[in-house]
Homo-oligomer: A and B are copies of this chain.
Amino acid sequence: MKLSPLQIARYQYNPKLPGMLRNGIAEICVKNGAPTESVADQEKIKALFPNTYGKNEITFEKGENTSPAKKQIVGVILSGGQAPGGHNVVSGLYDALKATSKENELYGFKGGPSGLIDDDFIVFTDEYINQYRNTGGFDIIGSGRTKLETEEQFKIVAENCKKHGITAIVIIGGDDSNTNAAVLAEYFAANNTGVQVIGCPKTIDGDLKNEDIECSFGFDTATKTYSELIGNIERDANSAKKYWHFVKVMGRSASHVALECALETQPNICLIGEEVAAKKMSLAQITDYIADSVAARAAKGMNFGLAIIPEGIVEFVPEFSKLIAEINELLAGSKADAFNALATWEEKYAFIKNGLTEESFKVFEILPAGIQQQLFLERDPHGNVQVSLIESEKLFSEMVKKNLAARKAAGAYKGKFSPLHHFFGYEGRCAFPSNFDADYCYSLGYNAFMLIQYGYNGYLSKVSNLSKPAEEWIAGGMPITKMMNIERRHGADKPVIRKALVELDGAPFKFFEAHRDEWAVETCFTFPGAIQYFGPSEVCDLTTHTLALEKA
């Protein structure tokens, strides 16, 4: 295998731990905090988690390590989509485990949660771990999307743990995976397995955060990578002066990624799904909003610009969601047969017009032809519209084009509009973790082992005060149940970690809101450039604008 010069250099990087974890394993003791309550639905959550509910928050501090001497065999899994830094969680966990006792062992279960069920694992060695330090990707053991949630699965996992003498499992995942971690922890406790479960907060989407978890890992590196590219494209737009770039970024259920990229690059337009939903904006309103910027800039001689579109935007548009629901209903089960039997698109179109409510047909009517056909022709095996396939960046650029043509006909616009499209997602999920993510992840893993060693179960590894230098970070643990509430999922009430959406009264959005009118008309582009791992601290150690604003 050929290693790049950067990969070789990154092997030499020593991730920074929180100050309180720097004195060596023998000098880490627990400081007990207050007992916790779940953020909502306390009685219900308590009833569901009788053995793990209400535990104390804890932090670590300098002092004599009083944890019991015990051989630890820990299993770790990576769950869900890749996020930069996952390898450092594993290496931090490994280093703390081995520093505590050379006898301890770390098992990496392969391919995500299914590895725990299939009992497919490797036992980590120094040599193996060293190849992955400070690198991107989840290729150290792979990941997967199997959900660990049924009693039957838990039983198998418990048996596999017993077989190997596993004392604890670390689950590195997003909100769903950590919800499942809490349920597994409760199962282990209720069944006296003696196996502990610790979660680590991962997701580039940034939607696993709350008053305890300041941010999920990977968000920093992924948004920096997308912002590098967006800034480069802005500079290109401002040099060529002839294109409008529509840039879609990952993030289906929340717009944190789009917002952070906007704060870093100051584009002309950035749509925020949560705002679209709160204001019940229509497709026409959004289109008008973008076209206003295009027209205002054209009037100043600037026929170029850049708009950031979050991946899941159309799902936040109420009238669009209603349209999708009606289409799914219209073609449900055998009803699709009549539709499929129609030979031409014209006949199908008449069928659609007849089948939709007048309100939804009006929405359908204004969509570009390509999207109209996609909605009806590309359905999933259950016959449902595949919303994730909708190219929303093209949807809006085409609608803006039409809107501008109408303005031109009315004499209200004289510019040129040449759109180009981009989608950034896979480019950032496996980048070499930034110094921040390398440090944060290593600390999360190191800290996870300290929680294991001190006997905690159903806790999330928590490292906070992240907008400060690592020296001042605070390490500890929080019962996962504290972050939970009851939500309706697939027709049933379920205890889940509440997903963090962009808060419209939060500082990051407020900052964006205060500046976006200027950004829409002027050229206020900012060019972050590529992630730097060496060099001045202000260039290579700062984390996101989102966190800086939230903690300001």
Q: How far is the CA of A414 from the CA of B538 in the complex (A)?
A: 51
Oligomer: number of copies: 2
Q: Which residues of B contact A82 (CB under 8 A)?
A: 235-236, 239-240
Contact with B along A1-16 (1 / 0, CB 8 A): 1111111011000000
Closest 3 CB pairs of A and B: A534-B535, A530-B530, A235-B430
Q: Which residues of B contact A10 (CB under 8 A)?
A: 529
Whether A431 pairs with B532 at a CB distance below 8 angstroms is no
Q: A526-B3, A534-B532 are in contact. Are A233 and B138 (CB under 8 A)?
A: no
Whether B420 pairs with A527 at a CB distance below 8 angstroms is no
Whether A137 pairs with B4 at a CB distance below 8 angstroms is no
Q: How far is the CA of A533 from the CA of B539 in the complex (A)?
A: 11
Whether B430 pairs with A426 at a CB distance below 8 angstroms is no
Contact with B along A235-277 (1 / 0, CB 8 A): 1101111000100000000000000000010100000000000
Contact with B along A514-540 (1 / 0, CB 8 A): 000000000010111111111110111
Q: Which of A209-243 contact B (CB under 8 A)?
A: 225, 228-229, 231-233, 235-236, 238-241
Task: Specify which of B81, B233, B239, B266 is in contact with A427 (CB 8 Å cutoff).
Answer: B233
Q: How far is the CA of A233 from the CA of B424 in the complex (A)?
A: 11
Q: A139 to chain B: closest CB distance in Å? A: 5
Whether A536 pairs with B7 at a CB distance below 8 angstroms is no
Q: Which residues of B contact A231 (CB under 8 A)?
A: 4
Sample of 25 A–B contacts (CB below 8 Å)? A1-B526, A2-B526, A6-B527, A7-B527, A9-B538, A9-B539, A81-B240, A82-B236, A136-B232, A137-B235, A137-B238, A142-B241, A229-B229, A232-B427, A232-B430, A233-B426, A422-B426, A432-B529, A530-B532, A532-B532, A532-B533, A534-B536, A534-B539, A534-B540, A535-B535
Q: A232-B429, A239-B138, A427-B232 are in contact. Are A9 and B535 (CB under 8 A)?
A: yes
A: number of interface residues (CB 8 Å): 59
Q: How far is the CA of A512 from the CA of B210 in the complex (A)?
A: 50
Whether B532 pairs with A6 at a CB distance below 8 angstroms is yes
Q: A2 to chain B: closest CB distance in Å? A: 5
Residue of B nearest to A138 (CB): B239
A88 close to chain B: CB less than 8 A: no
A542 close to chain B: CB less than 8 A: yes
A428 close to chain B: CB less than 8 A: yes
Q: Which of A414-473 contact B (CB under 8 A)?
A: 420, 422, 426-432
Q: Which residues of B contact A238 (CB under 8 A)?
A: 137, 139
Q: Which residues of B contact A235 (CB under 8 A)?
A: 82, 135-137, 139, 430
Whether B136 pairs with A527 at a CB distance below 8 angstroms is yes
Q: A388 to chain B: closest CB distance in Å? A: 13
A143 close to chain B: CB less than 8 A: yes
Q: Which residues of B contact A422 (CB under 8 A)?
A: 426-427
Q: How far is the CA of A534 from the CA of B6 in the complex (A)?
A: 12
Q: How far is the CA of A9 from the CA of B529 in the complex (A)?
A: 11
Query: Considering residues A2, A143, A240, which has the most beta carbons from chain B within 10 angstroms of its beta carbon?
Result: A240
Q: A426-B233, A524-B2 are in contact. Are A432 and B530 (CB under 8 A)?
A: yes
Q: Which residues of B contact A426 (CB under 8 A)?
A: 232-233, 236, 245, 420, 422
Residue of B nearest to A344 (CB): B344
Q: How far is the CA of A111 from the CA of B239 in the complex (A)?
A: 9
Q: Which residues of B contact A3 (CB under 8 A)?
A: 526
